Each structure stands twice: as structure tokens, then as C-alpha cells.
Amino acid sequence: MRCESRSGSGTLQIQRLTPRMSPEDKVVVRPAIRIAGSVRPPGDKSISHRYAMLAALAPGRTRLQNFASGADCASTVACVAALGCQVQREADRVEIEGLGPQLHAPAAALDCGNSGSTMRMLAGIVAAQPFACEMIGDASLNQRPMARVIAPLTKMGARIKAAQGERPPLRIQGRQLKGIEYELPVASAQVKSCLLFAGLLAEGRTTVIEPARTRDHGELALRAFGAEIQTETKTRGSASIVGGQPLHAVEAAIPGDISSAAFFLCAAAVLPGSNLIVDEVLLNPTRAQLLDVLTQMGARVSVLNIEDRHGEVTGTLQIEAGMLRGARISGALTAALIDELPVLAAIAPFTERGVEIRDARELRVKESDRIAAVAQNLRRMGAGVEELLDGLIIPGGQQLHGAELESAGDHRIVMAFAIAALAAEGESVICGADAARISFPEFFEMLERVSER
């Protein structure tokens, strides 16, 4: 597919051909001199998903402010409503009237849209309900593997049928589950949360053991809603919950999404003279490794204030550009940075020594094959890059040029290469740019506001 560029007076031009996402949607990005000003990212996706799901199981009215604005979390809210909960939403405020541990059978299939988070985590709740239902998704979601939740839920007593044994749609016959001890073969916060949610509704104790520590939003959300959960983080990490615990409704303001803020942080780190403030962003230690990596690479990062919101650490950041040296990312660090790897790869050519990413085979089965998509777009911009089965080697000291880039229908690829385009020579055209609205509908408008030319 080719996507023709149209120059005009605007620095960022979005041409939407239809109200829905279309492969022809495109954005033109011109280089920037620096990033300056302040941004407040939308509510954290990971927390928004989990709070909406647990709100369905908590009798009473849960009120959430700064709820994530993207289409993925909207899919979770729609599924919660389809399961019988009264839902009211106005802008970034969401109210959910929870039913308790037993939900209602949906009148139609639960449509998870493009959201693997919705399907994987909600499956743990649906599998414990006294009814049968189907979980469906769009064409992209239907290609993503679900065996990682099907296998442990089956051990708990669930009955799940899937296309080709592991792909959506999922047909789930709900029944009483039994707690198990389960060691995750691959580190995954989504699978961990799925099993803990199922464990909340199961008989006995459920324990999830991780090969590497992952984000702990599921554990913190359960505690916020009143559940007791035991965790151990000294070695690989584990979480354990006893079933049958009652939840209660909450009122909460959701912190800004640090994975969304990552694009602005990386832009400010790589463009000389940049100085950016990021307000009210999530600083959970299991999510904030990006700040350590950018600091080690040479960016100047300061935390201006910190507060606690239901166990989640929130704060304001200031980041100033520095001479970025480069980084090697592997092992547990790869798992912790899995959502930020595309944008770190996109700015890698502008560093002194480049960036090497290993142990990231998980990127092959995201909304796109992110390893292949990153390598393809970097090459289109003139970069040398070595594509590995489980990662990328991207040398530093390279100058990129503007190019016609492909989104692969993936929101993180769109936003990562918008940042690369800011630092390139000449304008770039990103085809399928409307995919960004999956997680961050305001992205391009916010990026334009802080880009100086």
C-alpha cells in the first residue's frame, strides 16, 4: 500500500477519510527543533482496565476520574455494561454500578475490539460465572494467542474453546473454579491479573509465580477494592489470593499513563535543548524503569512531587535533553519495558552507541509484529538495523531522513515513529496513523502543542 503525502501550511496534518479507522488515514510529521512546555497524559490503561473489571464485582457505585481515553479501555467498559452493570461515562469520568461476584449473562458476544488486555483479563472473571458466553475481537485481536490464559484457567476447571486451539473467538462455559498454584512460563502481567481475578471467585487459594517481576496493578487494584492479597518480590515474584472475598466500590483518580508519556519523554530526551514537564503521571516502580534507562543514557530526569493514590505512586516529572549514549536491554528489564521498547528503538539511531534489545520475542505477538514493524520503518528512514528473532540491534550515530512509514495497524508503532520523524531530516508520512486512538486519541494534538520548529 502507498500513502501519498500532501504538504500544507500545518506542521501536523491528519487526513481522516472515514469516521472509522482506515488504512488510508495518515499524518504528516515535520522535524522539530525541541520539545518544550507541559503535557498531562491520559489515564493509565493498565489501571483503567483493572478498575473497571473489579468495579463490576464490587457492589455499589465506583466512580473513576481520568479514566483512559482510548478505544481499548472503552471495550472493557462496554463488556462490563454487557455483563449487566449500569455504566455512565462523561469525558474521562466513569461510574459503574457493581453487581457483586455474580454477573449477568450477556445478550450477545462480548466484543473486546482490539484489546488483548480486555480479553485476557476478563476471561478470568467470565470463566467463573454461571453462564456460557463468547468473547470476540477484531481481525488483529483474532490473530493473537490466548493459550497463556486458556491453559491455567482450564487447570482451575474452566471450559474454554478457541479457534485453532488458542486464538479468538473464545467460547467459555462458566463454572465454579478451584484455586491452583501456577508458574507462568512467560512473564505477563495480563495473565497474572486474569488468574488473580479468577482466584478471587474460585474456591481455595490461587498462587501465581512469575519468572520475572511484572507490573503489579492487578494486586494493587484488588487491595484498593478491599481484597487481601499476599505478594513476594524478593526473588522472581509471586502473588496469592484466597477466593470468596467481598469487594467494595471505590472513588479514585487514575494516574496518567507512563507508557503514553514515554513518547514525549523520549522526544524530549533526543531533541537538543528540550525541557518538558509531565504532570500527574504514574510512577509505579514496576512501570518506571524507563526513567532509569533514559537517565542512564544521559537524559536529565527530575521528580518534582510524589503522591499515593490507592497504592499507586503518582508524580510530576521534568525531563531535559542530554547526549544519549545508548543502552542494552535484556532479561527482566525487557519485560518491564515491553510497551516502551518500540519508541526506545525508534530513537536508537540518534544515540551515540545505539540500542540493543534482547529477550523481546513477546513483541512478535502484540497488535503487530513490533520487531518487524520497527525494523521495516527504520530501514525506510535510512537506518541500519539488525532484526533478531527476539529483538533488535540498532547502531547509533545515524541520521534518518523522512519517509513513508507504515503503522501495521499498531498504535505504538504510529506514535514511536512520530517521534523518530521529529528528529529526522525532511517530513515523514505515517500511513494508518489513526491507530493511535486505540490508546491515545489526543496524541497528535498534544505532540503538536509541545513541538517547536
Residues catalogued as catalytic? 339
Cα dihedral 29→42→315→120 (10° resolution) = -110
CB neighbour list of residue 245: distance below 8 Å, 6 or more residues apart: 200, 226, 227, 228
Q: Are residues 295 and 327 in contact, defined by beta-carbon separation less than 8 angstroms?
A: no
DSSP letter string, 60-124:
EEEEEES---SHHHHHHHHHHHHTT-EEEEETTEEEEEE--S--PPPSS-EE-TT-HHHHHHHHH
Beta bridge partners of 37: 276
Taking CA atoms, 6 is separated from 29, 144, 180, 413, 421, in Å, by 11, 35, 57, 21, 16
How far, in Å, CA of 171 to CA of 166, rounded?
11
Q: Which residues of 348-357 are buried (b: 16+ CB within 10 A; e: fewer)?
A: bbbbeebbbb
How far, in Å, CA of 55 to CA of 357, rounded?
37
Beta bridge partners of 27: 14, 430
Beta bridge partners of 282: 314
**159-163 long-range Cβ contacts below 8 angstroms, 24+ apart:** 160/123, 160/127
Beta bridge partners of 62: 96
What interhelical angle do 71-82 and 45-57 show, nearest 10?
Answer: 10
How far, in Å, CA of 114 to CA of 137, rounded?
6
| Cell numbers that stand for 288 in this block | 518506571
How many helices (H) does the chain have, and how many strands (E)? 13, 25
DSSP 356: E
